[in-house]
């Protein structure tokens, strides 16, 4: 089976939506195989989003992701990466389909409630970024 990395972002944690989002993921057939609530440091957020370093919103993105705690998890199910992208919905909540996490819990393109890996290759990299091998064995 496949795995992907999920982050419940600061906006959703601030609004007390951790439980609702995790329940939604379990309903969608994902097993939560690792889970951690943490306040990201600037260095951790910058490193995680390094691919976006040249984008105009990079500074805003790092400020947002370090504003308050996040909940990081590893999700497992068949076709996890693509299925979770569908469950999240479009990056901009205004464009996301009804019933998706970003439509339900996001408020803007910046504050969009959740992150998910965008490929199987990146899922492996992102899982290793946040979890020691012993926690995801």
Residue 112 labelled as part of a binding site:
yes
Would you tell me which residues interact with ligand ATP (CB under 6 A)? 52, 57, 60-61, 91, 109-110, 112, 115-116, 118
39 tagged catalytic: no
Annotate 100-124 with DSSP letters as a single string: SHHHHH--SSSS-SEEE-SSHHHHH
- Smallest gap from Cβ 125 to Mg ion, in A, equals 12
H-state helical runs in the chain: 10-14, 18-27, 42-48, 58-65, 80-88, 101-105, 120-130
Q: 42 labelled as ligand-binding?
A: no
86 among annotated binding-site residues: no
Helix (H) or strand (E) holding 73: strand 70-77
**What part of residues 72-111 is at the interface with Mg ion (CB under 5 A)?**
none
Q: How far is the CB of 118 from Mg ion (least distance, A)?
A: 5
Joined tokens for residue 52 = 């976006």
- Copy the structure tokens of residue 5: 């990395």
Cite the annotated binding site for ATP by residue number.
9, 57, 85, 91, 102, 112
Cite the annotated binding site by residue number.
9, 57, 85, 91, 102, 112
Binding site for Mg ion (CB under 5 A): 118
Give catalytic residue positions: 115
């Amino acid at each position: 089976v496949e795995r992907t990395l999920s982050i419940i972002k600061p906006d959703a944690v601030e609004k007390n939506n951790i439980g609702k989002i995790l329940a939604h993921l379990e309903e969608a057939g994902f097993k939560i195989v690792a889970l951690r609530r943490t306040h990201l440091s600037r260095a951790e957020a910058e490193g995680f989003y390094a691919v976006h370093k040249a984008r105009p919103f990079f500074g805003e993105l790092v400020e947002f992701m370090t504003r308050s705690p996040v909940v990081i998890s590893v999700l497992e199910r068949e076709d996890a990466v693509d299925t979770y992208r569908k469950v999240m919905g479009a990056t901009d909540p205004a464009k996301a389909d009804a019933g998706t996490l970003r439509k339900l819990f996001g408020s803007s393109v910046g504050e969009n409630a959740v992150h998910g890996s965008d490929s199987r290759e990146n899922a492996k990299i992102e899982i290793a970024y946040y979890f020691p091998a012993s926690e995801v064995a």
